[in-house]
């Protein structure tokens, strides 16, 4: 009986070691070099959950080759940002995170985001970071191959605006809308709730 326990312990240890080796050799893992919350902008890696930055994050997940939903949503976000008071705007960190890191470089994501509003920051992560963030906040997306198209593929995804606390906790999400006033109301509500908790 004693030998059975020894064999079982050795088997478990071997399994753990094998798992560690596989994890370290897999570039798609979010390892120490690519933590979940450090994404690339045009100039540097930025901490999405920086505790020193008290702003509420307003995140939209999409991709620059998106033909309709993404540009519409970012235009609505831009319109909402133009409608709110300067004090409210200073308490927000609007962010566009690409779901297509293979094509959307940090520079491309930044340029795309800035096209809609100067305050919207574009970010690109690794495939592993993108997948992990999507799973964390319930973002659904799938790559769909396009035959006989210059684009090669599309990234089908759901469309929400995610309001996050500085530590990354989800405060609220607002479904895709064509009415910026819905976003303006959500911004006011989230900022009010956050100030009451402070």
CA torsion angle 70 76 78 80 (round to 10)? -150
Q: Which of 184, 194, 190, 191 is nearest to 77 (CA)?
A: 184
Q: Taking a C-beta distance cutoff of 8 angstroms, is the pair 29, 125 a contact?
A: no
157 is in an annotated binding site: yes
Q: For residues 72 and 94, give the distance between their C-alpha atoms in angstroms, rounded to a whole number.
A: 15
Contact 116, 75 (CB under 8 A): yes
- At 21 the pLDDT is 35
> Known binder of ligand: residue 65?
no
* Superfamily for domain range 38-197: Glutaredoxin (3.40.30.10)
The domain segmentation of the chain, as residue ranges, is 1-30, 38-197
| Residue 70 among known ligand-binding residues | yes
pLDDT digits (tens, 9 = 90+) for 144-182: 999 877 788 999 999 999 999 999 999 999 999 999 999
| pLDDT band at residue 17 under the 50/70/90 scheme | very low
Give per-residue pLDDT as tens, 34-52: 689 999 999 899 999 998 9
């Amino acid at each position: 009986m004693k030998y059975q326990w020894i064999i079982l312990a050795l088997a478990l240890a071997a399994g753990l070691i094998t798992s560690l080796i596989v994890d370290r050799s897999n570039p798609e893992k979010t390892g120490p070099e690519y933590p979940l919350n450090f994404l690339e902008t045009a100039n540097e890696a930025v901490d999405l959950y920086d505790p020193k930055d008290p702003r509420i994050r307003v995140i939209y997940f999409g991709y620059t080759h998106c033909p309709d939903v993404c540009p519409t949503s970012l235009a609505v976000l831009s319109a909402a940002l133009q409608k709110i008071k300067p004090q409210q705007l200073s308490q927000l960190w609007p962010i566009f995170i690409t779901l297509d890191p293979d094509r959307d470089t940090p520079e491309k994501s930044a340029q795309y985001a800035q096209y809609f509003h100067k305050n919207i920051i574009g970010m690109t992560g690794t495939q592993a970071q993108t997948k992990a963030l999507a799973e964390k906040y319930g973002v659904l997306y799938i790559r769909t191959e396009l035959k006989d198209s210059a684009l090669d593929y599309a990234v089908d995804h759901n469309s929400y605006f995610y309001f996050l606390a500085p530590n990354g906790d989800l405060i609220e999400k607002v479904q895709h809308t064509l009415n910026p006033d819905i976003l303006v109301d959500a911004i006011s509500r989230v900022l009010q709730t956050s100030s009451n908790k402070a």
